[in-house]
Amino acid sequence: MDKIVENAYQRKKDPEGVKKLILANTMSLVAEHGVNGVSIQSIATRSGVTKGGVFHHFANKQVLIEAMLEELIQQLDQQVSLAIEKDPVTYGCFTRAYIDVTLSASFGVNTVWSALSMTLMTDKSYSEKWDQWLTRRLSQHAATDDSATLKILRYAADGAWFVESLSPKMQDDYEEIKQQLLLRTYPE
């Protein structure tokens, strides 16, 4: 569903609102078509601005995609932090939050995050921000999550997510796999 706003020349000036709208529509288009299937023109059209309006906020497509990635990582980080805050068990708290959030409906398969994650895997120019986030989080949670077992569980979650993303329909045991991974993060 295209969300087109009123004529850019008649709209009240709200540069921050327009920037957020452009980012939101970029996320939506990337989820629908992948990063390579999105053009500045399609983003401008959906956002109800000119291509110049998009370029006013983002110098080029790569800068726009990087801004979108930063926004998504920030959202992921907030969700992980919330999950950790609610977790009464410190051992494995980051790993549980990581598994729970990345295999959730919000960040899992068939979401904006899913489309962008595939790009991260295939285009190294976008993966640095993800690597920085994960390195920072793993360092921050070294006291609670620095074990080979927890690392293997995070890798297993990544694998479950990847396999699920290749399938056109949700696997019957996806939720069970998620629950089994979470269960294994607790100390014995």
For the chain, what are the domain ranges? 15-58, 65-183
Which pLDDT belongs to residue 32? 82
User: For a pLDDT cut of 70, what percent of the chain falls above it?
Assistant: 89
Which pLDDT belongs to residue 146? 97
User: What confidence tens digit (pLDDT) does each residue in 93-131 have?
Assistant: 999 999 999 998 777 666 777 766 777 777 787 888 889
Asked if 61 and 101 count as a contact pair (C-beta separation under 8 A), the reply is no
Asked if 53 and 47 count as a contact pair (C-beta separation under 8 A), the reply is yes
* DSSP assignment letter at 2: -
Q: How far apart, in whole angstroms, are the C-alpha atoms of residue 137 and residue 134?
A: 5
> What single letter denotes the amino acid at residue 53?
G
- Show the CA angle centred on residue 173, arms to residues 185 and 106, nearest 5°: 70
Which pLDDT belongs to residue 11? 55
Which pLDDT belongs to residue 47? 96
Asked if 62 and 125 count as a contact pair (C-beta separation under 8 A), the reply is yes
Which pLDDT belongs to residue 14? 83
Closest CA to 68 of 106, 101, 24, 99: 24
Which pLDDT belongs to residue 165? 77
Q: Which residues of the chain have pLDDT under 70?
A: 1-12, 108-110, 115-116, 168-170
Q: Which two tokens stand for residue 3?
A: 């969300």
Is 15-58 a domain of CATH 1.10.10.60?
A: yes
